[in-house]
Amino acid sequence: MHRGRRNRGRRANRLGKRDAPNAAAARLRTARCGARADLLGDAAPPQPSGARPMRLTRFFLPLLKEQPAEAQIASHRLMLRAGMIRQAASGIYTWLPLGYRVLRNVERIVHEEQAAMGANAVLMPTIQPADLWRESGRYDAYGPEMLRIRDRHDRDMLYGPTNEELITDVFRGAVSSYRDLPRILYHIQWKFRDEVRPRFGVMRGREFLMKDGYSFDIDSAAAIHSYNRHLVAYLRTFERMGLKAVPMKADTGPIGGDHSHEFLILADTGESEVFLDSAVLDLALGDRAIDFDSRDGLQAIVDQWTKPYARTDETHDAALFESAVPEARRTVRRGIEVGHIFYFGTKYSEPLGARVAGPDGAQVAVEMGSYGIGVSRLVGAAIEANHDDKGVIWPEALTPFHAGIVNLKQGDAEADAACQSIYDRLTAAGLEPLYDDRDERAGTKFAAMDLIGLPWRVTVGPRGLKSGVVELTSRRTGESQELTPEAAVAKVAAIYGR
């Protein structure tokens, strides 16, 4: 636990440094986010910087003071209490504004890292024709987890639990030569699996948002390079989110080989027991430059991360664990699976006839892999790994707002003006503050901020303003410092590399 905390702190620093020189990318991200918020009709007017600040008096944030009866684990409880989600049916949720902002952050980071690794974003439909699944043989194999639908013409349809068939269909119709390889296609789309017993809120819902990607290569060596691209891209993705996700050897089933890994975030409420060499927890990519086109370079990183023992109970080998890991580093914890990568060869390309002509003119089935990230699940997992008894503690990369501004005396001319000024300056810096401008007591505002977990809070009151200072408080450590309003803004901007 203590180690985890320290690591998170160090990682936040590293990421801050890495982001700083990357101002162009940061602006691009902000701009894209802003443009999208416009379409989605957020209340605040667009700012020149593209940032979307918010006043609490205009924000739909239904907080619950009491514990919802149906929620058992911290993330589910806190997501309901913090007004992030609301259940529509068992395992199906509406994402309210606060939760939706976090979900969008997760999505954004996934998109950016997929692009950096060379994947192409697409968007496949949620509803799929059953015939495609009959072709792969999975229509009958999938069982009652698959939601089957019939349209008005009595055609069998289904709400997709995954997309291998569709993507292979797209691919086989468009690609016929080895010259068109490799390709990596992915999308982020809602899936539905009719779980017998949904639970733990978005951690195990029936409807869930998932990034699933598919690689197409001419031979096994090329396919393993694609696999390695994903493994490293996933390391970057989770690290950027401020999360410690460990790749663990996964079961490859009948296909065999070493090329399947699950990424697990360590948390006491995790669904799997995990066994690992604590050395893997000290690894970090940091701001290392990565050439995704270098086979040897990627393989070296993959080796470094997959060499230490790390397995779930499914693949755990007690004898090997004891012989390979020094006793002091043997760690047994629980983990939440947030990613899964899999090289499966010609399992789908063969039956679906996805073939290309090789250099020698012979038709060969393409070598494929599939790669998933549980986008909506990550929101819950991030909370499981980052909360205390007062509420959520967002990593900077995922937080729905960069900082909260608490006006301790709403209506006081000086306090109001100081808050407005801080709000404007943070916004001008490209950040998105949440200003609690409600006419509420201090305690109520503090409790709300603690619950929703913004990592930084600027507290403004007449008492401090008399001596020209406001208070900047870290949600994670609880440490406060008194600064001039200008210095507080500068400090928050620096934390976010702005």
Partner RNA sequence: CGGGGCGUAGCGCAGUCUGGUAGCGCGUCGGUUUUGGGAACCGAAAGCCGCAGGUUCGAAUCCUGCCGCCCCGACCA
Please give the angle made by the CA atoms of 352, 354 and 360, to the nearest 5 degrees. 145
Q: How far is the CB of 143 from RNA (least distance, A)?
A: 8
- Are 400 and 454 a contacting pair, CB within 8 Å? yes
Cis status, amide bond into 247, omega within 30 of 0: no
Nearest CB to RNA, comparing residues 363 and 481 = 481
Residues 30, 75, 226, 459: which binds RNA (CB under 7 A)? 459
CA distances from 282 to 7, 10, 242, 285 (A): 8, 11, 14, 10
Q: Which amino acid is at 310?
A: A
Nearest CB to RNA, comparing residues 362 and 417 = 417
Segment near RNA (CB under 7 A), from 41-49, 108-116, 326-334, 455-463? Answer: 455-463
Residues 374, 380, 395, 453: which binds RNA (CB under 7 A)? 374
Asked if residue 29 binds RNA (CB under 7 A), the reply is no
Asked if residue 67 binds RNA (CB under 7 A), the reply is yes
Residues 463, 468, 477, 494: which binds RNA (CB under 7 A)? 463
Q: How far is the CB of 382 from RNA (least distance, A)?
A: 15
Asked if residue 441 binds RNA (CB under 7 A), the reply is yes
Asked if residue 191 binds RNA (CB under 7 A), the reply is no
Asked if residue 347 binds RNA (CB under 7 A), the reply is no
Asked if residue 443 binds RNA (CB under 7 A), the reply is yes
- Are 407 and 416 a contacting pair, CB within 8 Å? yes
Residues 6 or more apart from 75 whose CB is under 8 A from it?
A: 200, 201, 202, 203, 269, 379, 380, 381, 383, 384, 387
What is the DSSP secondary-structure string of 355-419? EEE-TTS-EEEPEEEEEEEEHHHHHHHHHHHSEETTEE---TTT-SSSEEEEESSTT-HHHHHHH
Asked if residue 152 binds RNA (CB under 7 A), the reply is no
Residues 198, 213, 247, 453: which binds RNA (CB under 7 A)? 198
Asked if residue 409 binds RNA (CB under 7 A), the reply is yes
Nearest CB to RNA, comparing residues 41 and 443 = 443
Cβ-based neighbour number of residue 406 at 10 Å: 26
- Are 288 and 300 a contacting pair, CB within 8 Å? no
Q: How far is the CB of 119 from RNA (least distance, A)?
A: 20
Dist CA 238 CA 30 (whole Å) = 20
Q: In whole angstroms, what separates CA 54 from the centre of its chain?
A: 23
Q: How far is the CB of 381 from RNA (least distance, A)?
A: 10
Residues 51, 231, 398, 408: which binds RNA (CB under 7 A)? 408
Residues 238, 309, 348, 446: which binds RNA (CB under 7 A)? 446
Q: How far is the CB of 404 from RNA (least distance, A)?
A: 11
Residues 55, 101, 193, 333: which binds RNA (CB under 7 A)? 193
Residues 273-332 that bind RNA (CB under 7 A): none
CA distances from 209 to 161, 189, 202 (A): 11, 6, 9
Number of residues that bind RNA (CB under 7 A): 49
What is the number of residues in the chain? 498
The pair of three-digit structure tokens given for residue 23, joined into one six-digit string = 């101002």
Segment near RNA (CB under 7 A), from 84-92, 181-189, 301-309, 348-356? Answer: 84-92
Segment near RNA (CB under 7 A), from 164-172, 393-401, 461-469, 490-498? Answer: 461-469
What is the DSSP secondary-structure string of 441-472? -HHHHHHHHHHHT-SEEEEE-HHHHHTT-EEE
Nearest CB to RNA, comparing residues 112 and 416 = 416
Asked if residue 271 binds RNA (CB under 7 A), the reply is yes
Q: In whole angstroms, what separates CA 326 from the centre of its chain?
A: 33
Residues 187, 461, 472, 498: which binds RNA (CB under 7 A)? 461
Asked if residue 147 binds RNA (CB under 7 A), the reply is no
Q: In terms of C-beta density within 10 A (0-12 exposed, 13-18 middle, 19 or more buried), how is residue 318 classed?
A: exposed
Residues 45, 154, 197, 359: which binds RNA (CB under 7 A)? 197
DSSP 204: B
Residues 24, 48, 60, 65: which binds RNA (CB under 7 A)? 65
The pair of three-digit structure tokens given for residue 216, joined into one six-digit string = 């197409």
Asked if residue 168 binds RNA (CB under 7 A), the reply is no
What is the DSSP secondary-structure string of 304-372? HHHSS-EEETTT--HHHHHHHS-GGGEEEEEEEEEEEEEEEETTTHHHHT-EEE-TTS-EEEPEEEEEE
Of the candidates 121, 165, 118, 116, the one whose C-alpha atom is nearest the C-alpha of residue 139 is 165
Residues 220, 272, 315, 421: which binds RNA (CB under 7 A)? 272
Asked if residue 462 binds RNA (CB under 7 A), the reply is yes
Could you list the residues that contact RNA (CB under 7 A)? 63-70, 72, 81, 87, 89-91, 145, 193, 195-200, 204, 271-272, 337, 340, 374, 377, 390, 408-409, 441-444, 446-448, 450-451, 459, 461-465, 471, 473
